Amino acid sequence: MKRACVYCGSSSGNDPSFTEVAITLGQSLVRHKLDLVYGGGRVGIMNVIAESVLNSGGDVIGVIPQSLMDREVGHDGLTELHVTSNMHERKSTMANLSDAFIALPGGLGTLEELFEVLTWSQLGFHRKPIGLLNTAGFYDSLLTFLEETVKAGFIKPEHHALLTVAKEPEELIEAIKTARPTEVDKLGHTHQTSPADT
Ligand code: AMP
């Protein structure tokens, strides 16, 4: 595992622990020799994690669509910045560059990115680990809802288990390093493909 993709808020949120966990996760990624792949912005928690990795001596690869660059929210101090023509290309580029995915607290963009990589995994398009940092119980109600969807028969228990949850960055990185995503896809087929197939 060489690169971890982090999805997180383009806002800072109103609890200081959201910013604190982004700083700690950045330091942990560098300690584990993992480069950061993220959305390339210099706003909110996104900026905090990018700065944390850079300040700790790590490499940061940003992937941002031209439309957001034009609105001057791109970070100009990264190791690499990929500018894509649209959001879809941006998300597939981030996924293809990464060996694992981690979601921090965030809003609609973060949730969309998290659920997209989970959906690709349950369809067997990739077998990369996916982690959720449940800082200060931020995701408790979402996790309860996901359990409801399993009980209601919409998500298989083995696909629910594709999401590794932890409260602290070190614990999450250790857990995703040993995670073994199911090989059985939603249609019951066993196969291995990569996000390039999406
Ligand atoms: P949100 O959780 O709604 O704040 O959206 C954050 C996620 O969406 C990030 O992981 C980014 O990939 C993307 N995103 C949203 N806003 C921006 C922005 N201003 N600059 C770069 N990426 C953004």
Provide the pLDDT confidence category of residue 3 given band limits of 50, 70 and 90. Answer: very high
Residue 69 token pair: 């660059």
C-alpha–C-alpha distance, residues 91 and 120, integer Å: 12
Q: 197 in a domain, yes or no?
A: no
> Is 29 among the domain residues?
yes
The first and second tokens of residue 107, run together, are 């809003």
pLDDT tens track for 82-128: 999 999 999 999 999 999 999 999 999 999 999 999 999 999 999 99
| Each residue's pLDDT tens digit, 140-193 | 999 999 999 999 999 999 999 999 999 999 999 999 999 877 677 777 777 554
Is 91 within a domain?
yes
Whether 72 is in a domain gets the answer yes
- Dist. CA 50 → ligand 1 center (Å): 13
pLDDT, residue 71, reads 87
In what order do the strands lie in the sheet containing 163-166? 80-84, 60-65, 35-38, 3-7, 100-103, 130-133, 163-166
Q: Is residue 198 included in any domain, yes or no?
A: no
CATH code, 178:
3.40.50.450
Do the domain assignments include residue 104?
yes
CA–centroid distance, 140 to ligand 1, in Å, is: 22
Residue 153 lies in a domain: yes
What 3-state DSSP class applies to 36? Answer: strand
Q: In this structure, what DSSP letter does residue 8 have? A: -
Q: What is the domain extent for residue 164?
A: 3-192
Going by CA atoms, what residue is nearest to atom 7 of ligand 1?
109
Number of separate domains in the chain: 1
